């Protein structure tokens, strides 16, 4: 049943048609388990892994290894090639070629020289299998369990439903035991132990008994035996990749699946995919084991270690604030992506195309944070970022023309040498000669500045900052009006992506295709300036745009065809503009047009389940806005913000989820754990990408979505009071990324 309640205190005025009601439920910031990945690499493939008495042990052709810290150290007592490690009957068992070894009471003991393939615990006994034979462990030796061989070579044994299941390649049967009182008469029934269904493939690799199900790993997915019915778990049912290699029980009773292209966790009806550099030394998974709060994944190049730590989203927000400081991602009131410098052998800050625009994410985040918490630190950060936005406009010497980025002469870092399209970067000296500023400013910056400065003015500005914010908006909007709805650079010409004029819209090709989004942008800019400055010229300018037919252009601002015109990063620009336009427009006819435009854009966008988009839609309409998936997206961001390469195009689950349509390409959205953390101009449906570990993204977009969610009530505050679940240690004295900025400070007055 839909729940109806009033908007959260502090939210924007509710749309008239909802009468202050909402059709979404707030999501509690409950404690969840945050994945933290690390690796222990080896020079030899790992065949097996187990956790016993708190120790993590892995097998290889060189013998047994123990995990100590992030290194695998040889265990001198067992230097034979290890093929399998199993915990059963209170002991750790290692199968070698040939031989079975047991670790118990602090020491290793060889139990048998037989070629053993598997060990399991069944009805209080430890059973071993090898070739076509079964044994029970009796004291320090093996004793035959059957008087007759199995009908095939045994690779795995599993105790399931008080019955011993025996597996061979492509085959599964049961050991029926003594019957009718006749001793040592063992019955091997027909191999098919189910009445309904078939295996996905006869190329079977492993079996696992887990609760009411027996799972069978094959190269085409899993067979799932429940009762005497065999079903298949494949891509159509959500299995990420079908070429499975091994199975293991997780710490919460969940299922872990190894594949030739990564590991999969099946929990709560969902599949979590772990592959690529972020999680694994190599994607081929040979074995998996778990401890109380960690999973260990054996691959050909070492162990992938995924630890699970209790977190709340509030704690994660604090973690990311610390990340910005410790990784040196702040400079001159801006936040930065880091890039790897191959010569310096370190991460450095990039002064790039959209520093001013991307830093507005942080400005908006801190404005929301201050509105929610009244924390003075949040206001200090917001004010600092705001003054830098003002400085970007002042440094160019052109009224209302903001720079893309700023570079201190001689500083340590990367100064972007690329500009719009194929053009070279346009860097110009500031008047004081200490800095350079990047020109050819695009609509990206203008959209971000109007969005963030309007929020700062509404939520955090005090004293003279109020007039400073209004003046900034007036100068930029005035520049656009005075230059014929264009952003005009030092050369007296409009910038490559700063054109909103009727002449530009009438151009065949680019201008005509851009007019839907660009009309939305300029309408939003001028309406915002009109509402927040009160200057009559902006009301006149807005009416001029209306007479030119700009509102109608917005109806289909999002291009979905042809494929070459679909640019998903432009969705970010449109959602920067909708909030102000819908907040400040009161004319019913114009609102009708803008709402239809917004609803169309949201229907295209909602399949991505990106929290910032979702919360904008819900806050402006009161409608259902995918709040639960949006909060899950925030939880699934990795703590490690390095942008590793990722691949998903090989997966078996590439289809839109029920209830969604991929209007503008792709098949489905991918979790941040399966691709990378991102700014909100990225595309969650991009299957492959990344930078090979050479970039570190700033977490400002995450912080914006989180604090926006808190402000509008989509995310409730945590209910507990345990500091360990609400925050992280802030002052650790660590310098993990780029070295501290050592250039000249921002000029006085800013």
* pLDDT single digits (tens) 313-352: 999 999 999 999 999 999 999 999 999 999 999 999 999 9
Backbone dihedral angles phi then psi of residue 174, each to the nearest 5 degrees: -130, 155
The pLDDT assigned to 204 comes to 97
Placement of tokens 């409608």 in the chain: 623
Q: Cis link prior to 281 (omega < 30° from 0)?
A: no
Query: Could you report the per-residue pLDDT of 260-279, keeping only the tens digit for each?
Result: 999 999 999 999 999 999 99
How far is residue 309's CA from residue 632's CA, in Å, rounded to a whole number?
A: 16
Q: What is the pLDDT of residues 484-499, one digit of tens each?
A: 999 999 999 999 999 9
β-strand 414-415 against 346-351: which pairing, if any?
parallel
Start-end of H helices in 486-560: 502-505, 510-533, 536-547, 550-553
56/44 Cα distance (integer angstroms): 17
Domain residues for the domain of 362 are 358-499
pLDDT number for residue 582? 98
Token pair of 223 as six digits? 């067979």
Q: Is the dihedral of CA 648, 649, 650, 655 positive or negative?
A: positive
656 vs 431: CA distance, rounded Å:
54
Q: Is residue 113 part of a domain?
A: no
Q: Where are the beta strands (DSSP E) in 179-228?
A: 204-210, 213-218, 221-226
E strand or H helix at 154: none
- Residue 654 burial (CB count, 10 A): 16
pLDDT for 20: 67
Q: With 0-12 CB in 10 A as exposed, 13-18 as middle and 19+ as buried, what is 662?
A: middle
Q: How confident is the prediction for the chain on average, in pLDDT?
A: 94
The verdict on residue 388 lying in a domain is yes
Rounded to 5 degrees, what are φ and ψ at 240?
-65, -40
Using DSSP bridges, classify how beta strands 494-499 and 486-488 pair: parallel, antiparallel or unpaired: antiparallel
Distances in whole angstroms, Cα of residue 348 to Cα of each of 127, 425, 604, 739, 740: 57, 19, 37, 7, 10
* Torsion sign, CA atoms 545, 551, 556, 557: positive
Categorise residue 657: left if φ over 0, alpha if ψ from -120 to 50, beta otherwise.
beta
Backbone angles phi, psi at 745, to 5 degrees: -75, 170
Instruction: Enumerate helices (H) and strands (E) in the chain, giving the number of each.
Output: 14, 38
**552 torsion bin: left (phi>0), alpha (psi -120 to 50), beta (else):** alpha
Question: Per-residue pLDDT averaged across 61-90, rounded?
Answer: 96
Q: What percent of the chain has pLDDT over 70?
A: 96
Q: With respect to residue 367, please indicate whether it lies within any of the assigned structural domains.
A: yes
Looking at the 3D structure of the chain, how many domains does it have? 1
Structural domain includes residue 377: yes
Prediction pTM value = 0.94
On whether residue 664 sits in a domain, the answer given is no
In this predicted structure, the answer to whether residue 699 has a pLDDT above a threshold of 70 is: yes
pLDDT for the residue numbered 10: 35
The reply to whether 476 falls in a domain is: yes
Percent of the chain at pLDDT exceeding 90: 90
Residue 252 falls inside a structural domain: no
Query: Is the residue at 646 inside a domain?
Result: no
The pLDDT tens digits of the residues spanning 437-480 come to 999 999 999 999 999 999 999 999 999 999 999 999 999 999 99
Min mean pLDDT across 5-14, 113-122, 162-171, 649-658 is at 5-14
């Amino acid at each position: 049943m839909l729940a109806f309640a009033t908007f959260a205190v502090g939210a924007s005025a509710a749309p008239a048609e909802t009468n202050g009601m909402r059709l979404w439920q707030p999501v509690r910031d409950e404690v969840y388990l945050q994945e933290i990945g690390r690796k222990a690499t080896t020079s030899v493939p790992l065949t097996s892994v187990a956790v016993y008495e708190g120790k993590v042990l892995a097998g290889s052709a060189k013998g047994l290894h123990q995990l100590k810290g992030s290194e695998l150290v040889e265990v001198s007592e067992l230097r034979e090639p290890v093929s399998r490690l199993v915990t059963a009957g209170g002991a750790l068992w290692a199968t070698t070629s040939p031989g079975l070894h047991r670790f118990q009471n602090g020491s290793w003991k060889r139990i048998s020289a037989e070629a053993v393939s598997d060990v399991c615990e069944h009805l209080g006994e430890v059973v071993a299998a090898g070739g076509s034979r079964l044994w029970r462990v009796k004291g320090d030796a093996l004793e035959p369990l059957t008087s007759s061989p199995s009908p095939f070579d045994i690779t795995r044994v599993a105790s399931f439903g008080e019955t011993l299941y025996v597996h061979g390649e492509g085959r599964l049967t049961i050991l029926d035991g003594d019957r009718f009182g006749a001793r040592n008469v063992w019955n091997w029934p027909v191999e098919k132990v189910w009445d309904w269904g078939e295996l996905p493939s006869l190329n079977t690799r492993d079996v696992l008994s887990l609760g009411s199900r027996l799972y069978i790993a094959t190269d085409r997915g899993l067979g799932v035996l429940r009762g005497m019915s065999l079903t298949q778990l494949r891509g159509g049912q959500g299995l990420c990749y079908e070429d499975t290699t091994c199975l293991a029980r997780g710490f919460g009773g969940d299922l872990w699946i190894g594949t030739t292209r990564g590991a999969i966790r099946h929990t709560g009806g969902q599949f979590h995919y772990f592959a690529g550099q972020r999680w694994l030394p190599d994607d081929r998974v040979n074995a998996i084991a778990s401890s109380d709060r960690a999973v260990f994944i054996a691959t050909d190049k070492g162990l992938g270690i995924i630890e699970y730590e209790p977190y709340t989203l509030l704690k994660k927000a604090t973690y990311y604030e610390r990340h910005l400081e410790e990784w040196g991602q702040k400079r001159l009131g801006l936040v930065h992506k880091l890039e790897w410098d191959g010569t310096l052998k370190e991460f450095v800050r990039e002064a790039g195309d959209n520093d001013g625009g991307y830093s507005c994410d942080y400005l908006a985040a801190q404005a929301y944070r201050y509105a929610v918490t009244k924390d003075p630190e949040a206001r200090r950060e917001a004010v600092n970022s705001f003054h830098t936005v003002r400085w970007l406009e002042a440094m160019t010497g052109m009224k209302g023309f903001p720079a893309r980025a700023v570079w201190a002469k001689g500083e340590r870092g990367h100064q972007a040498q690329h500009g719009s399209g194929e053009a070279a970067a346009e860097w110009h000296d500031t008047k004081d000669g200490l800095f350079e500023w990047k020109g050819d400013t695009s609509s990206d910056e203008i959209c971000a500045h109007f969005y963030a400065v309007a929020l700062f003015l509404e939520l955090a500005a005090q004293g003279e900052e109020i007039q400073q914010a209004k003046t900034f908006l007036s100068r930029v909007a005035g520049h656009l009006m005075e230059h014929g709805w264009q952003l005009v650079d030092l050369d007296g010409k409009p910038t490559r992506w700063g054109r909103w004029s009727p002449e530009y819209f009438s151009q065949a090709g680019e201008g005509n295709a851009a007019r839907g989004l660009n009309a939305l942008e300029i309408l939003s800019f001028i309406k915002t300036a009109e509402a927040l400055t009160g200057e009559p010229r902006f009301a006149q300018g807005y009416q001029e745009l209306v007479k030119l037919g700009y509102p109608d252009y917005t109806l289909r601002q999002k291009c979905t065809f042809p494929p070459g015109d679909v640019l998903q990063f432009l969705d970010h620009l449109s959602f920067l503009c909708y909030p102000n336009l819908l907040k400040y427009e009161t004319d019913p006819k114009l609102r009708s047009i803008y709402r239809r435009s917004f609803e169309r854009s949201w229907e295209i966008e909602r399949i991505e389940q990106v929290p910032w988009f979702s919360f904008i839609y819900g806050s402006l309409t009161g409608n259902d806005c995918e709040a639960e998936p949006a909060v899950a997206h925030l939880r699934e961001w990795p703590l490690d913000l390095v942008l590793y390469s990722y691949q998903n195009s090989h997966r078996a689950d590439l289809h839109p989820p029920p209830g969604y349509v991929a209007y503008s390409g792709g098949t489905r959205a991918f979790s941040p754990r399966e691709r990378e953390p991102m700014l909100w101009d990225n595309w969650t449906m991009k299957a492959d990408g990344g930078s090979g570990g050479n970039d570190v993204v700033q977490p400002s977009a995450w912080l914006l979505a989180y604090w926006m969610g808190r402000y509008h009530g989509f995310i409730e505050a945590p209910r507990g009071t345990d500091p360990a679940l609400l925050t992280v240690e802030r002052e650790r004295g660590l310098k993990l990324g780029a070295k501290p900025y050592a250039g000249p400070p921002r000029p006085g007055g800013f």
